[in-house]
Structure 1
Amino acid sequence: MTKIDEQEAWVRTKEGRLFAKTWTPGSPEAALRASILLFHDSLGCVDLWRGFPALLASATGRRVIAYDRLGFGRSDPHPGHLEFDFIAAEALDVVPQLCEQLGFAEFIACGHSVGGGMAVETAAHLQTRCQALVTIAAQAFVEDRTLNGIRVAKRDFHDAANLARLAKYHGDKARWVVDAWTETWLASEFSNWNLDASLAAVCCPILAIHGELDEYGSAEHPNRIAAGRGTTLILPKTGHVPHRENDQLLADTIAEFLSRE
Structure 2
Amino acid sequence: MITAVSDQDRLIPLSLPAGAGRLYVKDWTPDSDGALPPILLFHDSLGCVDLWRSFPARLAARTARRVVAYDRLGFGRSDPHPGRLVPGFVAAEARTVLPTLLDRLGIGAFVACGHSVGGGMAVETAAYFPTRCRALVTIAAQAFVEERTLDGIRVAKRDFQDPDQFARLTRYHGDRARWVLDAWTESWLSPEFADWSLDAALETIRCPVLALHGDCDEYGSSDHPARIAAGRGTVRMLADTGHVPHREREDELVEAIGGFLTRV
Fold conserved between structures, TM > 0.5 = yes
Task: Quote the Cα distance in structure 2 between the aligned partners of 1:134 and 1:90.
Answer: 17
In the other structure, the counterpart of 1:229 is 232
Q: Secondary structure at the match of 2:166?
A: helix
In the other structure, the counterpart of 2:79 is 76
Task: Quote the Cα distance in structure 1 between the aligned partners of 2:27 and 2:3.
Answer: 15
For residues 76-130 of structure 1, the C-alpha deviation after alignment (integer angstroms, 9 at most, x for no partner) is: 0001000111000100111111211111111000000000000000000111110
Runs of 4+ in 1 over 4 A off after TM superposition: none
Residue 34 of structure 2 contacts residue 64 of structure 2 at CA under 8 Å; is this kept in 1? no
The answer as to 2:81 corresponding to 1:115 is no
Task: Quote the Cα distance in structure 2 between the aligned partners of 1:250 and 1:11.
Answer: 29
Task: Quote the Cα distance in structure 2 between the aligned partners of 1:114 and 1:20.
Answer: 19
Identity of aligned residues (%): 64
For residues 19-62 of structure 1, the C-alpha deviation after alignment (integer angstroms, 9 at most, x for no partner) is: 000000001xx230000000000000000000000000011010
Task: Quote the Cα distance in structure 1 between the aligned partners of 2:100 and 2:170.
Answer: 27
The 10-residue stretch of structure 1 (153-162 or 66-75) with the greater mean CA deviation from structure 2: 153-162
User: 1:248, CA displacement in angstroms?
Assistant: 1.4
Match of 2:31 among 26, 34, 40: 26
Matched pairs, number:
259
The answer as to 2:220 corresponding to 1:217 is yes
Task: Quote the Cα distance in structure 2 between the aligned partners of 1:106 and 1:96.
Answer: 12
RMSD over aligned Cα atoms: 0.7
Q: Secondary structure at the match of 2:27?
A: strand
In the other structure, the counterpart of 1:49 is 52
User: Which amino acid in 1 is paired with 2:188?
Assistant: W
In the other structure, the counterpart of 1:147 is 150
Residue segments in structure 2 that go unaligned for 5+ positions in a row: none
User: Which amino acid in 2 is paired with 1:16?
Assistant: G
In the other structure, the counterpart of 2:69 is 66
For residues 189-229 of structure 1, the C-alpha deviation after alignment (integer angstroms, 9 at most, x for no partner) is: 10000000100000100000000100000000000000011
Residue 39 of structure 2 contacts residue 113 of structure 2 at CA under 8 Å; is this kept in 1? yes
Task: Quote the Cα distance in structure 2 between the aligned partners of 1:232 and 1:2.
Answer: 30
Task: Quote the Cα distance in structure 1 between the aligned partners of 2:119 and 2:50.
Answer: 18
Task: Quote the Cα distance in structure 2 between the aligned partners of 1:4 and 1:260.
Answer: 23
For residues 167-206 of structure 1, the C-alpha deviation after alignment (integer angstroms, 9 at most, x for no partner) is: 1100000000000000000001100000001000001000
User: 1:157, CA displacement in angstroms?
Assistant: 1.0
Q: Secondary structure at the match of 2:247?
A: helix
1:63-212 equivalent positions in 2, closer than 5 A: 63-212=66-215
In the other structure, the counterpart of 1:2 is 3
The 10-residue stretch of structure 1 (94-103 or 198-207) with the greater mean CA deviation from structure 2: 94-103
Task: Quote the Cα distance in structure 2 between the aligned partners of 1:13 and 1:85.
Answer: 20
